[in-house]
Amino acid sequence: MITKNQVKYIQSLGQKKSRDADNVFIAEGPKLVKELIDAENCRVTQLYALKEWIDNAGTGVEMIEVSVDELQKISQLTTPNQVLAVAEKIKWENEPVVKGNVSLALDTIQDPGNMGTIIRLADWFGIKNIFCSADSADVYNPKVVQASMGSITRVRVEHLDLLPFLKANNDIRIYATVLNGRDITKMEKINEGIIVIGNESKGVSDEILDLSNVQITIPKKGKAESLNAAVATGIILSHLV
């Protein structure tokens, strides 16, 4: 049983403003919710779940049993999946370390699905940090959280002013994706650097391009005009990392 106020509150967490006000986010589905419960840097505060899920869950978190209809009301998914968790935003100790690591920088990645997929593949390739321009999709947007599939607990995503950040790290090599740069399939692997992925339609902004040390390109054989930003990121990481 869930109250009207609870429904209203959880629905409000679809909005960044409400998430930021309480420093929380929502995540759905047994697999993702279990990952969050098990993660050391994430504290799940509430669970809204169907009886079948509660019966099998061995968790110390407060659980509220909901009906299929009630879950539908609070879910952001087309097909709700047994359980919805409210969790405090991930806590990271210390500052992110750029020196000696390969990091990603996202220059206005606006599609939440792309953002979530990029976080997941950063996790696959062992990338620890992603720095996003302030106008990129919010890492706690429910669509980002779902698409990242738990990788948000392992990859740190920071929203910040990208240009001053890159300027402050000018001892680190900056790689920017362009149309006519160096062929990534012929480059050596790298151990340190910041790889900038550009906006879905506009690419990397001119100011950041000016700052970059190496311009890189995925060679094209056919006729498609562009590649999806997440696909491009995957290809680049698989060749450079």
Nearer to its own copies, 149 or 163 (CB): 149
# residues contacting its own copies (CB under 8 A): 34
Nearer to its own copies, 88 or 200 (CB): 200
Residues 135 to 164: which contact its own copies by CB under 8 A? Answer: 149-151, 154
Residues 194 to 223: which contact its own copies by CB under 8 A? Answer: 218, 220-223
Q: Which of 3, 60, 206, 224 binds its own copies (CB under 8 A)?
A: 224
Q: Which of 46, 125, 200, 209 binds its own copies (CB under 8 A)?
A: 125
d(CA 196, CA 131): 9
Q: Which of 7, 63, 187, 241 binds its own copies (CB under 8 A)?
A: 241
Stretch that binds its own copies, among 39-47, 68-76, 91-99, 117-125 (CB under 8 A): 117-125
Residues 37 to 76: which contact its own copies by CB under 8 A? Answer: none
d(CA 48, CA 193): 42
Nearer to its own copies, 185 or 213 (CB): 185
Residue 168, number of CB atoms within 10 A of its CB: 10
CB-CB contact of 108 with 135 (8 Å): yes
User: What is the closest distance, in whole angstroms, from the C-beta atom of residue 211 to its own copies in the complex?
Assistant: 26
Nearer to its own copies, 4 or 189 (CB): 189
- Judged by the rule CB under 8 A, the positions of this chain that interact with its own copies are 113, 117, 120-127, 149-151, 154, 185, 218, 220-228, 230-235, 238-239, 241
